[in-house]
Amino acid sequence: MEIAIPFIKLATEEKEGELAPIFDEIRSLFKSSQFILGDKVADFENRYAEVAGCRYGVGLNSGLDALLLGLRSLGVGPGDEVITAPNSFVASAAAISLIGAKPVFVDVAEDYNLNPELLEDAISDRTKAIMPVHLTGNPCRMKEINAIAARHGLKVIEDAAQAIGASIDGRPVGSWGDIGAFSLHPLKNLHVWGDGGIATTNSDAIAKELRLQRNHGLKNRDEVQFFSFNSRLDTIQAIVGANYLKLLPATTERRIKNARLYDGRLRRLSGFVTPPPSPLPGVKHVYHVYQTRVQRRTELVEHLLKRGIETKVHYPIPIHWQKASESLGYKVGDFPMTDRLAEEILSLPIRESLTENDISEVCDAIESFYA
Ligand SMILES: *Cc1c(COP(=O)(O)O)cnc(C)c1O
């Protein structure tokens, strides 16, 4: 079956004119041989931090590392507990586990994000931090989460990997917690040509700590403060990222516009829920994913595929059901909302290059299925 409307298209998205400055800058980089860190990385970090409403950005080699080094920079370590959502991409829980801490899951609410009302029951003497995940580009209820964190003396690290450009009351995600962790993976809204990540913060001390964490713990050329990783953002990727940042406002608007087109057609369809069912006032959702809830998912996916329309499920197996989580000992009934969502969610194509016609075709196909 030929795919007329693929879920993802990468290299074909950009126009030649948008690519030329990137290749020019990479050519000059080659001549200067400033391959590691340098001005280009610093420039990208500053621009990105501004978009995330923060004073500092620290370029890293993945979103996972932004979470992992972020947690380490907040002093989270072996024996500590960190609260997060079980319906995320696996990296959220993995980052917690990889530093020797324990991921503690809390179920999600009607907006599919961490439910602040369930948070306090999950806090123990060992809890050190909360990691809300702005899943699909929809901001979490940060005011409530921050208030709870403040009450219990906990740190907040936002997993904002899917949410660059999203905001609450005009304040960008990534600036609500102590640290914002972002991924620059090719599938994210703002991406580079390989792996990359960035951590944002308003704290001078945390920014300094993150810079040590990503660079072998090196205080200067010869002195090592502590043993650490090499997780520097590639300079070539910083050039790519800085150029794509210029396009971000436009691509974000296209995604939001696409979402509104879908909403308009599909909102009243019975057996179908558009995302998120009850948006909060002041919230800007950037639609990394357009996640719907559907009935008879398997048949619908098949029906759409027959018409050349590709969809995805983010994610079919929640983290607490992965083999990797076995030792955490969760059982049926612990996270009813997450488990129910895993059965019902379906992501429609939402990329910025979709035309109104493409969206109309997807809607026609969905309507014909439920007719
Ligand atoms: C993509 C993603 C990550 C990890 O990013 P990488 O750059 O692939 O390491 C973490 N959390 C969430 C929610 C993500 O979507």
User: Which of 309 and 280 is assigned the larger pLDDT?
Assistant: 309
Sign of CA dihedral 281, 287, 290, 293: negative
Predicted pLDDT at 18: 82
Ligand 1, residues 162, 164, 198, 231: which to mutate, most atoms within 8 A of Cβ? 162
pLDDT in tens, 89-125: 999 999 999 999 999 999 999 999 999 999 999 999 9
- What type of residue sits at position 116? P
d(CA 292, CA 267): 10
Instruction: Check: CB of residue 143 under 8 Å from CB of residue 258.
Output: no
> What percent of the chain has a predicted confidence (pLDDT) above 90?
93
Q: What is the pLDDT confidence band of residue 169, given thresholds at 50, 70 and 90?
A: very high
- Burial (CB count within 10 angstroms: exposed 0-12, middle 13-18, buried 19+), residue 207: buried
d(CA 212, CA 191): 24
pLDDT in tens, 214-224: 999 999 999 99
Predicted pLDDT at 1: 66
Ligand 1 centroid to residue 215 C-alpha, Å: 21
Backbone angles phi, psi at 177, to 5 degrees: -95, -175
d(CA 63, CA 282): 27
What counts of helices (H) and strands (E) characterise the chain? 11, 13
Predicted pLDDT at 320: 98
**Residue among 157, 162, 142 nearest 282 (CA):** 142
Q: Is any ligand 1 atom within 6 A of the Cβ of residue 177?
A: no
Q: Is 95 helix (H, G, I), strand (E, B) or coil?
A: helix
Look-up: residue for tokens 């306090």?
120
**Residue 256 has which token pair?**
């939001």
- What type of residue sits at position 20? A
> CA 290, 293, 320: angle at the middle one, nearest 5?
90
Q: What is the pLDDT confidence band of residue 15, given thresholds at 50, 70 and 90?
A: confident
Counting every residue written for the chain, the total comes to 371
d(CA 298, CA 303): 9
Q: Is any ligand 1 atom within 6 A of the Cβ of residue 136?
A: no
Mean predicted confidence (pLDDT) in 36-60: 98
Backbone angles phi, psi at 168, to 5 degrees: -125, 120
pLDDT in tens, 348-357: 999 999 999 9
Instruction: For residue 196, give the ligand 1 atom closest to its CA.
Output: 7
d(CA 268, CA 306): 24
Look-up: residue for tokens 């403060």?
225
Neighbours of 19 (CB within 10 A): 13
Q: Is any ligand 1 atom within 6 A of the Cβ of residue 89?
A: yes
Ligand 1 centroid to residue 160 C-alpha, Å: 9
For ligand 1, atom 10: residue with the closest CA = 91
Q: For residue 278, is pLDDT > 70?
A: no
Predicted pLDDT at 79: 97
Q: Is any ligand 1 atom within 6 A of the Cβ of residue 92?
A: yes
